[in-house]
Amino acid sequence: MGSVKDLLIIKEPKEKEAGIGRFIFSDRYSVFDWGEMPDKIEKKGAAICLVAAYFFEKLEELGIKTHYLGVLEDNKIKRLEELKKPTNIMEIKLLRVLKPEIKNGNYDYSIYKKEKANFLIPLEIIYRNSLPEGSSVFKRLKEGSLKLNELGLKEIPKPGQILENPIIDFSTKLEEIDRYLNLKEAKELVNLREEELAEIKEKTLLLNRLISEKVAKIGLFNEDGKFEFGFDEERKIIVVDVIGTLDECRFSYKNIPVSKEIARIYYRKTEWFKEIEKAKKKDQIKWKELVKINPPSLPFDLKRLIEDIYQAYANEITGKKWFDTPPLEKILEDIRNF
């Protein structure tokens, strides 16, 4: 399916009927849209699966519809509380993925004017509770592709600034490089009705609050993250993909990043990252072909600490010790020393 998880199709989705699929979460990871990186983060797949299941089941309790059906153990679909050991397989309701065509070097989304239901909405919805160092907002403000009034701000923000109200951002999901969109562009791209766009924003804020409350209980601050949505067979909006994980969200602990942002920070200092930045400016679609060097491996000690973070976060957010790892606070202090 992608660089970090695979999709097993049990039953193909049809125009008017959802299918059934299984996410198989791997120990692979990706940064900067590159795809699979050279290292594996041990037990990351199982940790991500457990956390995603936890949040999906919380959403169900709140009456929010999702594509989640359960997690797999001993070839049976179970609830999280029924599991005897960690699993990296989740069963989901499968929607259609309608990919835009490329015509004359541009993406053509006209298919979304014809299709009405049972498909992935090809947008990533990003929430921001703060603007940590490295946030794309700073780069976009500098380039002029984002204006202060679009953020509801009166002056240029500073790295680390906590926002009075969350910002909601939209970007494309199915293009070679994610492209930010304003509200009008997002609405027109997917042929959304005004009330559907409002519902997506409302659900985004609700999910943001849920995640923020849960991670605050284990000492973390929810900086930003992303969600994905889809239309079911009746064109009702449902939450899809996964939520609340260290791949979808950026958390912090006393200004220490608690996410794969740790790996991003390391890679931003490499020649490989500089090559990526140059290539993306030259060609937004075929930029990877222009990068002539491969990413280096992570230092061993940093890789081990990242593995521990994924596992400790799964233990503490779910309230169950799935993995034999030190407390999250201890690991993060080691990261600070590193």
CATH number of the domain where residue 19 is located? 3.30.470.20
pLDDT, residue 69, reads 98
Give yes or no for a contact between 247 and 260, defined as CB atoms under 8 angstroms apart.
Answer: yes
Write down the pTM of the prediction. Answer: 0.90
pLDDT, residue 256, reads 87
Residue 35 binned pLDDT confidence (cut-offs 50, 70, 90): confident
Average pLDDT over residues 40-60: 97
DSSP 277: H
Instruction: Name the residue range of residue 23's domain.
Output: 5-337
End-to-end Cα, the chain, rounded Å: 34
How many other C-beta atoms lie within 10 A of the C-beta of residue 285?
13
By CB neighbour count within 10 A (0-12 exposed, 13-18 middle, 19+ buried), where does 79 fall? exposed
pLDDT, residue 135, reads 83
Angstrom distance (rounded) from CA 66 to CA 57: 9
- Is the predicted pLDDT of residue 222 greater than 70, yes or no? yes
DSSP 329: H
Angstrom distance (rounded) from CA 241 to CA 248: 10
pLDDT, residue 33, reads 85
pLDDT, residue 324, reads 97
Q: Which residues contact 272 (CB under 8 A, 6 or more apart)?
A: 291, 293, 294, 295, 296
pLDDT, residue 254, reads 87
Residue 277 binned pLDDT confidence (cut-offs 50, 70, 90): very high
- Is the predicted pLDDT of residue 176 greater than 90, yes or no? no
- Is the predicted pLDDT of residue 153 greater than 90, yes or no? no
pLDDT, residue 1, reads 58
Instruction: Enter the tokens of residue 258.
Output: 């608690």
Amino acid letter for position 104? N
- Is the predicted pLDDT of residue 224 greater than 90, yes or no? yes
Residue 89 binned pLDDT confidence (cut-offs 50, 70, 90): very high
Structural domains in the chain (count): 1
